[in-house]
Structure 1
Amino acid sequence: MAESVALIDYGAGNLHSVENALRTVGARVRVTAEPDAVRAADRVVLPGVGSFAACAGGLRAIPGLVDALEERVRAGGVPFLGVCVGMQLLADRGLEHGTTAGLGWIAGEVRAIEQTDPAIKVPHMGWNDVAPTAHAGPAIEAGEAYFLHSYHFAADDPQAIAAMTDHGGGIVAAVARDNLLGVQFHPEKSQAYGLALLTRFLEWRP
């Protein structure tokens, strides 16, 4: 039987598209915000669309959900995938609409993309290269993915950076540490590349 994937529903994700993509690659998905369902899951996926502050607030507004994530992911060690703002929430803090605390699972902060060149548009929207680093691990491979964001994850530890992309300068495309994986791009919108990444996530044994 396929492993169970808890897809966290906290009012801030592109849920249906992510769910459909996971099911396409064979995942047994449960869309949930129930702490007990999170504790029972074999893998956890945290999506996220919108502002860091709104997503962090939505996550914390559900009683017991953050505690369940801490228990299952941090203490239990199950594989975790954060998508877009779901990846950004791994940081210590976000600087969008003031300073908002993140989960603090990977040290760093989420800052606005600096528009250093008028030709570089913000938000960063559309297809761009994903260039794995030496710390990518088996889940991240080179290719092109679909991005849509105005803020980026500035990771404190270079070894936590799994991939980079270029948009008027280097931007973190993915982070990884232990059983944690986060991608700034949208696998569910990245066609064959995104489905291949989700397949590798389901096969990943950190």
Structure 2
Amino acid sequence: MIGIVDYGRGNLRSVEKALARLQFPAKIMTDATELADMDGIILPGVGAFADAMAALTEQGWVEPLRQFGASGRPFLGICLGMQVLFELGEEHGNHQGLGLLPGRVVRFPEGRKVPHMGWNTVHQEKPSLLLEGIPDESFFYFVHSYYAVPENPEVVAGSCEYGIRFPALVGRNNIWGAQFHPEKSSPWGLKLLENFGKWVNQNARVSSH
């Protein structure tokens, strides 16, 4: 079962619909105690870093999400959900993130229209289980004004150009994040979610042995 974290800041229904279309059982979770029963989770997010972290903190998600991240089970953050995986967000002052990936989240420099919105290509920096079967330079749908600056460039599996080159897909071990919206990115976005779902199922089978 894939859990979708509902903390009032995410695009939940489209993620749930995409997983249903791919025939992966998913559940929208409104309580952190439900994490224990999940084989993998998706943390969506729309809006500001500080607001998201405030909502996660108030609703008691922060520590359980960190523990889930440490459990080895597949964890995927989408858009703002990817950004809060990092240690620090610089939107409206410095705000602490979940700290599951070292690095910070900063605003696009002056010179380009912000937010970066619409379809853009993702350059595959290295092989990733989530990118299996997806051609290099495929188009994905973005909406964001901030981008991640990982401490370790090795976590960047896919990058995108918008005035600067920024990370579009990041991850290490079981913690992954997509800056784009796979649930709105037509066939290749669905393929990425399918790869995630297969990984969750495979990991659950191995764990149950």
Provide the TM-score with structure 2 as the length reference. Answer: 0.90
Alpha-carbon distance in structure 2 between the residues aligned to 1:71 and 1:50: 24
User: Offset of 1:188 from its aligned partner?
Assistant: 1.1
Alpha-carbon distance in structure 1 between the residues aligned to 2:63 and 2:97: 13
Give the aligned residue type for 1:56: M
- Which of 121, 124, 130 is matched with 1:132 structurally? 124
- Which of 5, 11, 23 is matched with 1:8 structurally? 5
Which residue of structure 1 lines up, in the alignment, with residue 27 of structure 2? 30
Does 2:63 match 1:67?
A: yes
Q: How many residues were matched structurally?
A: 197
Give the aligned residue type for 1:139: L
Does 2:154 match 1:159?
A: yes
User: Does the 8 Å contact 2:77/2:177 carry over to 1?
Assistant: yes
Which 5+ residue runs of structure 1 have no aligned equivalent?
Answer: none
Which 5+ residue runs of structure 2 have no aligned equivalent?
Answer: 204-209
Deviation string, structure 1 residues 88-122 (Cα, Å, up to 9, x no partner):
00111000011110011111100001134xxx321
Deviation string, structure 1 residues 40-66 (Cα, Å, up to 9, x no partner):
100010000000000111111112x22
Pairs within 5 Å for 1:1-206: 4-63=1-60, 65-74=61-70, 76-116=71-111, 120-134=112-126, 136-140=127-131, 141=134, 142=136, 143-204=138-199
Alpha-carbon distance in structure 2 between the residues aligned to 1:39 and 1:160: 27
User: Does the 8 Å contact 2:45/2:81 carry over to 1?
Assistant: yes
User: Does the 8 Å contact 2:140/2:182 carry over to 1?
Assistant: yes
CA RMSD between the two structures: 1.3
Percent identity at matched positions?
A: 39
User: Does the 8 Å contact 1:39/1:69 carry over to 2?
Assistant: no
User: Does the 8 Å contact 2:45/2:78 carry over to 1?
Assistant: yes
The DSSP-based 3-state class of the residue aligned with 1:139 is: helix
Alpha-carbon distance in structure 1 between the residues aligned to 2:110 and 2:116: 10
User: Offset of 1:33 from its aligned partner?
Assistant: 2.5
User: Does the 8 Å contact 2:2/2:25 carry over to 1?
Assistant: yes
Looking at secondary structure, tell me which structure has more helix per residue. Answer: 2
User: Offset of 1:150 from its aligned partner?
Assistant: 0.3
User: Does the 8 Å contact 2:89/2:106 carry over to 1?
Assistant: yes
The DSSP-based 3-state class of the residue aligned with 2:196 is: helix
The DSSP-based 3-state class of the residue aligned with 1:121 is: coil
Provide the TM-score with structure 1 as the length reference. Answer: 0.92
Alpha-carbon distance in structure 1 between the residues aligned to 2:28 and 2:41: 10
Deviation string, structure 1 residues 149-183 (Cα, Å, up to 9, x no partner):
00000111011111100001201101110001100
